[in-house]
Amino acid sequence: MKAAPFEYSRAADIDEACAWLAADENARIIAGGQTLVPMMAMRLARPTRLVDINRIAGLSYIRADGDAIAIGATTRQCDLERDALVARDLPLMAKAIPWIGHAATRARGTIGGSLSNADPAAEQALMAVTLDAVLNYREAGKTAEIKARDFFIGPMVTALPAAACLTGVRYPVWRGKIGIGFHEVNARRSDFAFVSAAVQVELGADGMCKRIAIGVGAATDFPMRLDSAEAQLTGTMLDAAAVKDAVTQALADIEAMDDLHASAAYRKRVAVSLACRAVADARASALGEKIHAH
């Protein structure tokens, strides 16, 4: 099948892109095209106009910004994968990126496109929620920001206004004795996750957990944080039994997705295992211990 006919506009700047979106409710931004183009080819998406933001200057960057790393919306996933600042200051993201699709899709796919697309299984969405990212966007000549935890509101649905263009994302950097863990289960490594878990921890000099963020992706309509487990585990030594108890409780009442790929019961069970493994890895990596591949 081929895409339905559409108009094409290459925006010179963000405000022009927003103006095209405001003028036509069926216009859509195209960034890497790795999701939108297949959707159009299958006629699951029929935008009347594509607004190309790829040539807008200043939308592709990775830079230190105070206590955060700021990343521009059209930054390619492959650039994040190879970036020394990301490897040093956002190790959780560096670990998760190779799990996103294939090298070829990462060469085109952008961070802004992945976040805007809001697939419940997208690794970038999980990173943004787990790391408390703040997303910036522009609409009708105004700049605004929204926390990642308020941005994702349903499967493929975000709080981004219809005529807005996501411009960048800021990820707070954790300093100190930091460790990370990431696991996902899928049919093949390049495929979308059935369930994923991401953990970042900060330990004190005595090995006690000072701060922990536990995110679970692909299990529910959008990535979630295990707030109650985080509260329960802060101030502990992250003993395996206590972690299992806290994670099991936090996931007990979730409404897990149920589809052809995985049942709700399976997703829930695997989410507990992956989150526990990710916490164990995070603790071990913060202590400088070797992590065994699973």
Ligand X SMILES: Cc1cc2nc3c(=O)[nH]c(=O)nc-3n(C[C@H](O)[C@H](O)[C@H](O)COP(=O)(O)OP(=O)(O)OC[C@H]3O[C@@H](n4cnc5c(N)ncnc54)[C@H](O)[C@@H]3O)c2cc1C
List of residues contacting ligand X (CB under 6 A): 28-36, 38, 53, 73, 100-101, 105, 108-110, 112-114, 116-117, 119, 122-124, 160, 165-166, 190-192
Q: Are 100 and 124 in contact (CB under 8 A)?
A: yes
Query: Nearest distance from residue 88's CB to ligand X, in Å?
Result: 23
Query: Nearest distance from residue 31's CB to ligand X, in Å?
Result: 4
* Closer by beta carbon to ligand X, 193 or else 229: 193
Q: Residue written as tokens 């299958």?
A: 42
* Closer by beta carbon to ligand X, 73 or else 199: 73
Query: Nearest distance from residue 54's CB to ligand X, in Å?
Result: 9
Letter for the amino acid at 194? Answer: F
Query: Nearest distance from residue 86's CB to ligand X, in Å?
Result: 16
* Closer by beta carbon to ligand X, 109 or else 181: 109
Query: Nearest distance from residue 140's CB to ligand X, in Å?
Result: 14
Describe the strand order of the beta sheet including 209-217 as a list of residue ranges. Answer: 177-185, 195-203, 209-217, 224-225
Q: Are 87 and 94 in contact (CB under 8 A)?
A: yes
Q: Give CA–CA dist 75/91, Å, rounded.
A: 17
* Closer by beta carbon to ligand X, 117 or else 232: 117
* Closer by beta carbon to ligand X, 8 or else 204: 8
Query: Nearest distance from residue 199's CB to ligand X, in Å?
Result: 18
Q: Give CA–CA dist 184/58, Å, rounded.
A: 33
For 165, 176, 275, the CA distances from 173, given in Å and listed in that order, are: 25, 10, 21
Query: Nearest distance from residue 154's CB to ligand X, in Å?
Result: 14
* Closer by beta carbon to ligand X, 190 or else 248: 190
* Closer by beta carbon to ligand X, 139 or else 202: 139
